[in-house]
Amino acid sequence: MEPQRVQRDRDATGRARNARPRDGLGRPLPHGLTGVPTTPDDLVLPPAEALREAERLLADGRPFHAHEVLEGAWKACDDDTRELWKGLAQLAVGVTHLRRGNEIGAVRLLSRAGERIAPYAPIAPHGIPVAALTTWTRELIAMIGKAPIPEGMLAPRLTPS
């Protein structure tokens, strides 16, 4: 008997798109259920707006969606801050893993994020508090598995104070 082929969601150009609804942490739900609104795949915001929106989403407990906003900025970036945006997206994924209860994944992604953004601390592009975010990643990693994480610790500042 032949294995059954899985029907994939595709856009008009043939690129894979997941049309399944998602929960608040980005986990796919079965077709037919109602999920939370997601970020459009083609959303690209100017840097300051992307940072504000991602920060708002993190504060609302929606780090997966913050990741999507930051990923859009990273993929649209055509200057030497590309790795910074990638690190910020990884930071949001690390928080997503932590909120989902995946402590190992959280530590891995937060570690990568901290390493990726740290070189930008001296210049702080777009006013991003890179040094504070790097410290935040280290402090959060140190707390994982040792104590309950305070809710406020899961929503770092991405914009200048």
pLDDT mean by block of 10 residues, the chain; 161 residues = 60 64 75 75 86 96 94 91 97 97 97 98 96 97 94 94 75
Predicted local distance difference test score (pLDDT) of residue 24: 75
Whole-prediction pTM: 0.83
- C-alpha 45/C-alpha 23 separation (Å) is 23
Q: Which helix (H) or strand (E) holds 141?
A: helix 130-143
Predicted local distance difference test score (pLDDT) of residue 44: 83
- C-alpha 74/C-alpha 20 separation (Å) is 24
Predicted local distance difference test score (pLDDT) of residue 135: 97
Predicted local distance difference test score (pLDDT) of residue 23: 73
Per-residue DSSP letters for 51-111?
Answer: HHHHHHHHHTT-HHHHHHHHHHHHHH--STTHHHHHHHHHHHHHHHHHHHT-HHHHHHHHH
Question: Which residue do the tokens 């796919």 mark?
Answer: 28
User: Do the Cβ atoms of 123 and 94 come closer than 8 Å?
Assistant: no
User: Do the Cβ atoms of 18 and 28 come closer than 8 Å?
Assistant: yes
Predicted local distance difference test score (pLDDT) of residue 131: 98
Predicted local distance difference test score (pLDDT) of residue 9: 62
User: Do the Cβ atoms of 129 and 161 come closer than 8 Å?
Assistant: yes
